[in-house]
Amino acid sequence: MLAFGAHPDDVEIGMGGTLALCARRGLVTAICDLTQAELSSNGTVETRRAEAREAARLLGVAVRENAGLADRGFRVNEETVAKVTAIIRRLKPRVVFAPYEEDRHPDHRLCSQLVQEAVANAALRRYVPPGCSEEPHRVAALYYYLIHGFTKPSFVVDTSETQALKEKALLAYRSQFVADPGRVTTPLNQGFLDALRARDRWFGHLAGTTYGEGFVSTVPVVVDVATWKRDR
């Protein structure tokens, strides 16, 4: 499982519970942050890096990388598509996750488009990113997680058992979510985690679980009938 985010903490907000659950079920998980969030109002690049490492550890994420693109400076172009394509070919994920494109932050929208382009190119035999010697790779699925957006999900992952872990991982980003003295007031440190818990609870409610993380799929999701055997 490979989840892309524009900034360290995007993936945790949208699908931290799912990644923790995947790790618990024996799947290998990875996060690739496109930027170091160097334009954030609070925290430094070094702080964010340490926070991201700790959050990944809590969620059992095996690999965390940073693509080194510029915060509020990257665009979807030949160069960035090549870079992200090379990452996908090297890590060979079965499932890729990206932010859902309806989001108030332009970097989240760009990250969504960039990953779509790279997933498509990763499968093309005749597309060779500069300096990339990896084989073409076709992912089984590309799903979108929600950061600031709210939409009707295509499916929900029951994250009831990892909700507490997700919240712990988010609190590892103290510089972002806690209004310590001297911090700049931002929407993130003014009750954001409470609002996020409410969204996770609501998605869980819609799906008949306690907590849940919602995802959007642009193609119909196949259901394994074996899962119908168990009573809820």
Should residue 10 be labelled a site residue for Zn ion when binding is judged by CB under 5 A?
yes
What number of chain residues touch Zn ion (CB under 5 A)? 3
* CB environment 140-174: b (16+ within 10 A), e (fewer): ebbbbbbbbbeeebeebbbbbebbebbbbbbbbbb
Burial of 228 (0-12, 13-18, 19+ CB in 10 A): exposed
Burial of 210 (0-12, 13-18, 19+ CB in 10 A): middle
Region of 3-11, 20-28, 129-137, 157-165 interacting with Zn ion (CB under 5 A): 3-11
- Whether residue 60 contacts residue 16, with contact meaning beta carbons closer than 8 Å, is answered with no
Minimum separation from the CB atom of position 15 to Zn ion (A): 13
- Whether residue 166 contacts residue 20, with contact meaning beta carbons closer than 8 Å, is answered with yes
Minimum separation from the CB atom of position 142 to Zn ion (A): 19
Minimum separation from the CB atom of position 185 to Zn ion (A): 17
Minimum separation from the CB atom of position 108 to Zn ion (A): 6
Treating both helix axes as pointing N-terminal to C-terminal, what angle do 10-24 and 45-59 enclose, rounded to 10 degrees? 30
Of 154-213, binders to Zn ion (CB under 5 A) are: none
Residue closer to Zn ion by CB (options 158, 213) is: 213
Should residue 12 be labelled a site residue for Zn ion when binding is judged by CB under 5 A?
no
Minimum separation from the CB atom of position 105 to Zn ion (A): 6
Q: How many CB atoms lie within 10 A of CB 186?
A: 14
Should residue 7 be labelled a site residue for Zn ion when binding is judged by CB under 5 A?
yes
Residue closer to Zn ion by CB (options 7, 89) is: 7
Minimum separation from the CB atom of position 6 to Zn ion (A): 5
What residue number has its CB nearest to Zn ion? 7
Residue closer to Zn ion by CB (options 112, 121) is: 112
Residue 191 gets the label, from left (phi > 0), alpha (psi -120 to 50) or beta, of left
Residue closer to Zn ion by CB (options 7, 48) is: 7
Which residues sit at the interface with Zn ion, rule CB under 5 A?
A: 6-7, 10
